[in-house]
């Protein structure tokens, strides 16, 4: 299945992009280089010199321009070659690379890989709990050799914890928790509520539940195209009134690297108003999730991808269960959006062909 091109994707954590060392990253199958110019503005260019295809990310950043490591051509943030150090210094008109619209928000650098004219018209979804102005945040990154939608399935699926994460995120009581799904516009929600659950230590600690006490846990996953999720977890010691509960919010952002691999970014945010505890808590959450993500989810996602091989998800004839409701809804939204984009792109191409025919007469 083709990618959805006209959408904002996370290209990198903001801290990964700097003005000393260009960052190479493949996004939707394209080699991209990211760096910061003299004003600290993030820039994303095609990572391939138009002269002799050298990887620009191996070059130096020189006064906000990226210098090709092979022959020293320099490109500015718009992708134009602005310096040819050889001979008379003439710059051929074709000497430019593609530059990608970027915006930096929520501690992430967001990229627009599709048609640039649509970028400005498309708002980024809000993830205010990650807004660094008011929040303390911590983030993690994992590369996963599996299709991004398998990752989305996994995040929307609140029934695998007790099997894949028995010692970290799951519990024996989870299967008794009621699952509900809903869909509105292009958003899908997956919710599961557990009562009187014996939490694993990692989770109990994170939510301040006393050792040995049971708790009520609410898991709310919100998915938006193309793969931007917020997970809200609410935990209240059993029998206590709701005001004794604690809540956590995290963002989970999936960017296709290729059609078989995914950049997975995730981040936790807590209000600065919480004081010092906030920083320790978001770090604890990121570090704590990294383990099950890396050692349990990631191998499973990669095994699924390996089993699929060259097959499309549907042609592998999956048998679905009630618990797959949210994941299936998100798949259908993506399929619809991609089909629409392909149709629109086909129409534009047809129009262009007609126009150029007209010119020929």
Binding site for its own copies (CB under 8 A): 31, 48, 50-55, 58, 67-72, 84-88, 90, 92, 94-95, 153, 157, 159-160, 162-164, 175, 179, 300, 303-304, 307-308, 316-323
Q: Is 259 helix (H, G, I), strand (E, B) or coil?
A: coil
Q: Taking Cα atoms as reference points, which of 79, 80, 78 lies closest to residue 91?
A: 80
Q: Say which DSSP state 26 is in.
A: E
**CB nearer to its own copies: pick between 157 and 220:** 157
- Closer Cβ to its own copies, 54 or 125, answer by number: 54
Report the nearest approach of its own copies to the CB of residue 317 (Å).
Answer: 8
- Separation between Cα atoms, residue 206 and residue 164, nearest integer Å: 20
Going across the sheet that includes 108-112, the strands are 8-13, 108-112, 102-105
Residue 67 or 216 with smaller CB distance to its own copies: 67
Tokens of 62: 């020189």
Of 86 and 361, which CB lies nearer to its own copies in the complex structure? 86
Q: How far is the CB of 8 from its own copies (least distance, A)?
A: 27
Q: Which residue has the tokens 């539940």?
A: 209
CA-nearest of 260, 258, 186, 259 to 229 is 186
Q: By the 8 A CB rule, do 197 and 170 touch?
A: no
Tell me the closest approach of the beta carbon of residue 129 to its own copies, in angstroms: 29
Task: Judge whether 266 and 279 are in contact, CB under 8 Å.
Answer: no
172 versus 340: smaller Cβ distance to its own copies: 172
Kindly state the smallest distance separating residue 112's Cβ from its own copies, in Å: 23
CB of 224 to its own copies, least distance (A): 22
Q: Buried (b) or exposed (e) across 305-342, using 16+ Cβ within 10 A?
A: beebeeeebeeeeeeeeebbbbbebbbebbeebbeebe
Residue 189, SS3 per DSSP: strand
Q: What is the DSSP letter of 80?
A: B
Identity of the residue, 153 or 341, whose beta carbon is nearer to its own copies in the bound complex: 153
DSSP result, 214-240 = -EEEEEEEEEETTTEEEEEEEEEETTS
In the complex with its own copies, the residue whose CB is nearer, 181 or 207, is 181
Residue 24 C-beta: closest distance to its own copies, Å: 10
- Please identify, using beta-carbon distances, which residue of 184 and 315 lies nearer to its own copies: 315
DSSP helix/strand/coil, 339 = helix
What is the smallest separation between the CB atom of 119 and its own copies, expressed in angstroms?
25
Q: For residue 226, is the peptide bond before it cis, meaning its omega torsion is within 30 degrees of 0?
A: yes
In angstroms, what is the minimal distance from the CB of 306 to its own copies?
Answer: 8
């Amino acid at each position: 299945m083709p990618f959805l091109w006209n959408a904002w994707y996370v290209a990198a954590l903001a801290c990964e992009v700097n003005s000393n060392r260009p960052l190479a990253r493949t996004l939707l199958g394209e080699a991209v280089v990211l760096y910061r110019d003299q004003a600290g503005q993030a820039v994303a260019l095609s990572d391939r010199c138009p002269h002799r295809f050298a990887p620009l990310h191996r070059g130096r950043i020189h006064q906000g321009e990226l210098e090709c490591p092979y022959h020293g051509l320099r490109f500015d943030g718009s992708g134009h070659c602005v310096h040819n150090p050889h001979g008379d210094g003439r710059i051929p008109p074709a000497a430019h690379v593609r530059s990608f619209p970027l915006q930096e928000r929520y501690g992430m650098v967001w990229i627009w890989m599709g048609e640039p004219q649509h970028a400005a018209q498309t708002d980024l979804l809000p993830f205010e709990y990650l807004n660094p102005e008011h929040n303390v945040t911590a983030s993690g990154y994992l590369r996963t050799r599996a299709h991004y939608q398998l990752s989305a399935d996994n995040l929307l699926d609140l029934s695998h914890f007790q099997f894949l994460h028995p010692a970290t995120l799951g519990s024996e009581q989870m299967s008794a928790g009621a699952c509900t799904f809903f869909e509105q516009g292009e958003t899908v929600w997956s919710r599961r509520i557990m009562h009187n659950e014996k939490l694993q230590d990692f989770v109990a600690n994170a939510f301040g539940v006393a050792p040995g006490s049971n708790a009520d846990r609410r898991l709310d996953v919100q998915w938006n195209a193309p793969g931007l999720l917020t997970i809200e977890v609410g935990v209240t010691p059993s029998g206590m009134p709701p005001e004794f509960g604690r809540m956590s919010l995290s963002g989970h952002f999936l960017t296709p690297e290729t059609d078989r691999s995914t950049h997975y970014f995730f981040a936790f945010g807590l209000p600065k108003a919480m004081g010092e505890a906030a920083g320790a808590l978001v770090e604890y959450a990121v570090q704590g999730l990294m383990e099950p993500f890396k050692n349990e989810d990631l191998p499973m996602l990669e095994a699924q991808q390996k089993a699929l091989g060259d097959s499309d998800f549907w042609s592998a004839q999956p048998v679905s269960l009630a618990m797959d409701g949210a994941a299936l809804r998100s798949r259908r939204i993506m399929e619809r959006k991609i089909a629409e984009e392909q149709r629109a792109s086909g129409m534009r191409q047809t129009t262009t062909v007609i126009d150029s025919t007209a010119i020929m007469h």
